[in-house]
Structure 1
Amino acid sequence: MKVVIVGGGAGGMSTASNIRRLDKDAEITVITRDENVAYSPCAIPYVLSGKISSFDDIIMKTPEDYKEVNIDVLIKSEVTAVDSSKKTVTYENADGEKTIDYDKLVLATGGNPFVPPMEGVDLEGVFQIRNIEDGRKVQQWAKTSKSAVVTGAGLIGIEIVFALKELGLNVTLSEMMPQIVPRSLDSDMADILTGYLKMENIHVMLGEPITKLEGEDGKVKKAYFGDGSCIDADMVILATGVRPELELAKMAGCDIGRWAILVNEKMETSVEDVYALGDCVESQDLILQANTISHLGTTAVRESKTLARTITGKKSNFNPVLNAMVSKVGKLEFGAVGLTSSFAQQNNIKPIVEKVEALTRARYYPNAKPMDIKIICDCNGRIIGCQIIAEERVAERIDTMTLAITQGLSCFELSNVEFAYAPPVSMVTDPLVLAVEEVSKKFN
């Protein structure tokens, strides 16, 4: 069996490794335009901030490592054509153009950074961060910069702006929406995070997109906003999201949904022997039972396991997603899973909401930290969302709520679940229990 995988990110490389574990004889070829494979893009901001000492540290494997398990990785190679009727893939690299055949084709093409349509985006000092090489360029440019603007206040944008602040730059975070992290947090929870960023001397501009960049000698120097204001900017980071890369999927004849490639629960596309995963596919939302986009590395890795089992003839289905996320900026951790109350309302769900303040440890134990928890339920008391902000112990509680939502638990049921306790790690009544007890009071 000849398997060709297009894309060397988390989805592509995990698929290759999982197929090899299940099939020792398959011929596996990975084609990627990048120089590095098997690295963590999520770690790039932490290399920039100095928390991780080198970009080399976030590269888990090299093409030579994969060669040892008989996986051929072609780097700096661009796929230019896919012919699903002939089952061939054509690619170009320094050695010229070559066409290879396949029995199974995996599209792990990911997404391309979205570039806002504004004047000045082609100036030197304007960056997108898609891979390690982009990170190296930002790191080098920051050494001679005094001020920076990051536009786009999603996870990457917030992590990047804090990293540049740690490097001593005067930084501004710009977001066209009226709040930061709009996909994962409601405005009241986002306000807590915004307040922390401001306390850390990060200038936050909400509801004001950048309209123009102005340069001097070809290098960016100023950023202009919709309200007419202007600030200095020796460098600008465009963290405005990604758009699924669909050109090859369309070339292969795959059905495309509202945003990305349509796949079933086995990661099969509409074209026989063509599969897809990662940022370029649509997933099903567990709560809404409708298609969505999940731009998370955890999703891609889970999809790779299902896809590998499908290709090797074993049974496996990919479950719907909840887009559980967690991040850390400075001392503050924040996480979310499921629907925000605002997104629930947009989908004709009347949310029943409660927000509580608790502590991460027993109140008498040293260094107990405040914890803000927001619980969202539907009108029947079923938990459909949770958001948490604290200086510690956020991830494990988001994981707990992910399991609770996946199992369809109500706030009443979770309030009776047994939780472990010790003063150094929790309150005697866990903060999650306090939150669901409070929201339960809103029901008869």
Structure 2
Amino acid sequence: MEKRDVIIIGGGPAGRTIAHMLHQLGQGLSVTLIKDEKINVNRCAVPYGIPDQMPLEKFQIPNSLVTDFGTELVVDRVTEINTEKKQVSTAHGGVYAYNHLVLSTGSRPLIPPIPGVESEAITPVRSLEDLSALRRLAATGKRAVVVGGGYIGIEVAVVLRQMGLAVTVVEMLPSILMATTEPEFIQLVNDELECKGLRLLTGEKVVEFIHSAEDQISVKLGSGNALPADFVVLSVGVVPNMTLAAEAGIRTSPLGIWVDEQLRTDAQDVYACGDCAQKRSLVTGEPTRGEFGTNAVFMARTVARNILGQQRTDPGVLNANVTAVYDYSLGSAGLTEQMAKDAGLDVLTGYSEVLSKYPMMPQVDTIRTKLVFNQKNRRLIGGSVLRKGNCSAHNIDFISFAIQMGATMDDLLNYQYATHPELAAKPSDNMYVFATKDALGNA
């Protein structure tokens, strides 16, 4: 049996990134990637494929992204890992030996154990099959209920509403977007969604799906009310795929496969990264969740370099994120104010509203920014932005980088930036400086 230098289990962003980097930086390593999906899909783009305006192929990730760099691709399901023999076995009888093994097995949608949930008219938002089901259901249905008010749930709801469907979002928490968004921004998003005709039910829990003979669904709520629907979309989170690791005796936790600072598991020469792996907050150093494709890529780079002997430490995650809700774009990085307080940190917060351009220019909009600082050392530990248009991503990138670099209040007050009447706020009105000054005023 030929032994591979590296075997990667999983064909998502983490697995593909590792394979690519090993061929870029390594010297002729033999790399095999084993995945159980024949064709992967760009999961973040699934909500935007529902209207059926583009062929499904546009949302597929070609296998050539793996094979073009010299990686051997095996489409099969790994059934067993033997860490003592350093071998993996597959459903079709394959046995593969390795020097290094990477677990990038991803996650799967959380399907809540609600009576009646098993139905072709109830679907999660994850795979190519899910996208096909959503297209079919949206083409024939008129009423949709989306269970879950996080990013994906809201994105699906917006798309369905734009297609002309009556849409209700059911969220068990007191507000939508609570996992990522500051309360100052949530109300603006609420208002925008309701203005467009979406119905938002927060603090409500689905307790049963009742199916009628006419292929209708009655979504029964804990309050006793019921919502009529032609189909239901489930978007209530994901679960790390770690059963394979656990059966091999590899240490796991409720947050994923346990890894150290170099993303090594407790099994020799076995790494884990991406959705399946437990993460560590860059701010607090504590274990955390963070099922974002960007986190998978960041972790994969560290794994690849460590396999090559470069001894890199994973810095932890900031869970930088952005989304679009009609005319708004918004996002955050690091800790929200409530997350920081829950972590036992004393904080200073600052808020700013500045114009996106010089005031005399056309199409001027307001940029809203909130920054969160550690009161003890005055370092930036979190930030959020909401603005019109699609520009918030680069704002969140700046905040994320500033947190990574340990930026303090003084750093943000003194940082140098460009300005232009058409492209930026006037020189005196920088969004980050204004928010930092506001935080100082709250000290």
Q: TM-score, normalised by structure 1?
A: 0.93
- Give me the whole-angstrom Cα distance separating, in 2, the residues matched to 1:379 and 1:312: 40
Mean Cα displacement is larger for which, 152-161 or 17-26? 17-26
Conserved 8 A contact 1:373-1:389 = yes
Shift of 1:324: 0.9
Query: What SS does the corresponding residue of 2:419 show, helix, strand or coil?
Result: coil
Distance 1:24 1:216 in 2: 62
> Residue 6 in 1 paired to residue 4 in 2?
no
Query: For 1:123-134, what aligned pairs fall within 5 Å after superposition?
Result: 123-134=119-130
Match of residue 23 from structure 1 = 26
- Partner amino acid for 1:413? D
Residue aligning to 2:141: 145
> What letter matches 1:182 in structure 2?
M
Amino acid at match of 1:36: I
Q: How many Å separate the matches in 2 of 1:6 and 1:65?
A: 16
**What is residue 159 of structure 1 aligned with on the other side?**
155
- What is the number of equivalent residue pairs in this alignment? 436
Q: Secondary structure at the match of 1:173?
A: strand
RMSD between aligned residues: 1.8
Contact map agreement 1:124 1:220 (CA 8 A) in 2? no
SS of 1:426's equivalent in the other structure is coil
Tell me which residue corresponds to 1:195: 191
2:339 matched residue in structure 1: 343
Separation in structure 2 between the aligned mates of residue 133 and residue 123 of structure 1, nearest angstrom: 14
Aligned counterparts of 1:411 and 1:65: Cα–Cα separation in 2:
43
Counterpart CA distance in 1 for 2:214 and 2:124 is: 17
1:424 lines up with 2:422 in the alignment: yes
Residue 250 of structure 2 corresponds to: 254
Report the AA paired with residue 417 of structure 2.
Answer: F
1:21 is paired with a residue whose SS is helix
* Alignment partners' CA distance in 2, 1:366 and 1:42: 33
Residue type of the alignment partner of 2:195: M
Give the match's secondary structure for 1:20.
Answer: helix
Structure 2 letter corresponding to 1:166: Q
Given that 1:124 and 1:218 are in contact with CA atoms closer than 8 Å, whether structure 2 keeps it comes out as no
Q: Matched residues in 1 for 2:5 and 2:416: separation?
A: 50
Q: Tell me the equivalent position of 1:391.
A: 388
Alignment of 1:45 with 2:44, yes or no, is no
User: How big is the shift at 1:151?
Assistant: 0.8
Once superposed, which parts of structure 1, at least 4 consecutive aligned residues long, lie more than 4 Å away?
Answer: none
CA displacement, residues 281-304 of structure 1 (integer Å, 9 cap, x when unaligned): 122212112111221111111111
Amino acid corresponding to residue 54 of structure 1 in structure 2 = P
**1:433 aligned partner:** 433
Number of the residue aligned with 2:101: 105
Structure-1 residue corresponding to 2:220:
224
CA distance in 2, matches of 1:302, 1:187: 29
Higher mean displacement: 331-340 or 384-393: 384-393
> What CA distance in whole angstroms lies between the structure 2 residues aligned with 1:158 and 1:12?
28
What does residue 69 of structure 2 align with? 69
Structure-1 separation of matches of 2:405 and 2:67: 41
- Alignment correspondent of 1:403: 401
Residue 272 of structure 1 deviates from its aligned partner by 0.5
Gaps of 5+ in 2: none
Match of 2:310 in 1: 314
Q: How far apart are residue 216 of structure 1 and its match?
A: 2.1
Q: Is the 8 A contact 1:397 1:432 kept in 2?
A: no
Displacement of 1:49 after TM fit? 4.2
For the Cα contact (< 8 Å) 2:51–2:135, is it kept in 1? no
Q: SS at the partner of 1:415?
A: helix
CA distance in 1, matches of 2:422, 2:225: 48
Distance change in 2, residues 1:346/1:416 (3 Å)? same
Summarize deviations over 1:95-121 as a string: whole Å, max 9, x none.
x33222222211111112111121110
What letter corresponds to residue 264 of structure 2 in structure 1? E
After superposition, what is the alpha-carbon deviation per residue over 1:378-401, rounded to whole angstroms, capped at 9, x for unaligned?
223322211111113211111111
